[in-house]
Amino acid sequence: LVPRLQPFTSTIFAEMTALAVRHEAVNLGQGFPDTDGPAGMLDAAKNALFGGANQYPPGPGRPELRAAIARHRLRYGVEYDPGTEILVTAGATEAIAASLIALTQAGDEVIVIEPYYDSYAAAVAMAGAERRVVGLVERDGRFALDIEGLRAAVTERTRAILINSPHNPTGTVFTRAELEAVAALCVTHDLIAITDEVYEHLVFDDAEHVPLATLPGMRDRTVSISSAGKTFNCTGWKIGWVCASPELVAAVKAAKQFITFVSGGPLQPAVAHALDHELPWAEELRTSLQGKRDRLAAGLAEAGFAVRPTAGTYFICVDVRPLGFDDAAELAWELPERVGVAAVPVKVFTDHPEEWKHLLRFAFCKRNEVIDEAVTRLRKLR
């Protein structure tokens, strides 16, 4: 394995899920739902499978899916031409990797917010670029963007900034003011923004998802990425997409076409159906997840953790110190065997493990009885 990929030989999700299976633990580690998506979407996939949609779809994605993505994006008030400005990918993961490979190279720096979704560091490394990490800061009871830190991280080599909101693993949803500051930085320093918006529909209470591309000066310098997995409970389908200017889409497509070329033929029309007809279902999912967030948060507090607030995503972070632990990773490795629950330590998503070692991430995208069983087991930690 080449040196630049040596830090990335395994993923925490694969490791923790394997450990959970070995100990028959309740798996609140890897974030995936334990119920299916809307029946209409599943029917559409079945119809496509038996309707002959089983060969290569067009390189940029099936036209009806690109049209549905454009309609969906229009909800935020930003218009994309399905012919030249939308690209269907193998999940958001491929979209992120192909964007970095196409747009950054050795000598370039990419600003990444810490803690970061694990694929970002690996994808920046695959591109041959370098990551410049800026940590979120705990302020006013939430994990906030460190605007000063971001400004200080820009150098003449900075090419792009990767922004994930709603944010995995903290559950932060960046405010419009925070995103405006990011936009100002991008415009001033002529940076490309790559946004990971896979949790765009999973925002709670009065939080609002603001796509960075909708802010002044950002539409043509932003690669907006999302996927169907989280919105429609189909994380295994790996249908994602990129919306950007024709130049940026053409660049990402140049990389993407030699990574997977195309994927998910019969799933693409089903996701098109879902984007056009199943957003009311996604709204019910959002409401239900908000209840699950509250259910798990209450249970984790009862179990003795200090629970951090979550405004979006599938995840809650807790501080393990009130229970007498110092390093959440040590706890995470013994938790499946000791009480039969799996969770993920936040420090594995950072370059500064000392600063983040107290936090443990739990996923609440599970049936209520699964959440309750996990809480019952976690109470034994006291």
Footprint on this chain of ligand PMP (rule: CB under 6 A):
91-93, 117, 164, 168, 196, 198, 227, 229, 235, 238, 240
* Two structure tokens written together for 312: 């979006």
Q: Which does 282 bind (CB under 5 to 8 A by kind): ligand PMP, ligand GLN, none?
A: none
Q: Which does 62 bind (CB under 5 to 8 A by kind): ligand PMP, ligand GLN, none?
A: none
Q: CB of residue 78 vs ligand GLN: minimum separation in angstroms?
A: 25
**CA neighbor of 102 nearest in space, from 246, 251, 244:** 251
Q: Which is nearer to ligand PMP, 145 or 303 (CB)?
A: 145
Q: Which does 227 bind (CB under 5 to 8 A by kind): ligand PMP, ligand GLN, none?
A: ligand PMP
Q: Which is nearer to ligand GLN, 80 or 143 (CB)?
A: 143
Residues 6+ apart with CB under 8 A from 352: 114, 133, 135
Q: CB of residue 235 vs ligand PMP: minimum separation in angstroms?
A: 5
In this structure, the number of other CB atoms found within 10 A of the CB of residue 106 comes to: 9
Q: Which does 164 bind (CB under 5 to 8 A by kind): ligand PMP, ligand GLN, none?
A: ligand PMP
Q: Which does 340 bind (CB under 5 to 8 A by kind): ligand GLN, ligand PMP, none?
A: none
Q: CB of residue 11 vs ligand GLN: minimum separation in angstroms?
A: 6
Q: CB of residue 92 vs ligand GLN: minimum separation in angstroms?
A: 9
Q: Which does 229 bind (CB under 5 to 8 A by kind): ligand PMP, ligand GLN, none?
A: ligand PMP
Q: Which is nearer to ligand GLN, 129 or 198 (CB)?
A: 198
Q: Which is nearer to ligand PMP, 332 or 339 (CB)?
A: 332
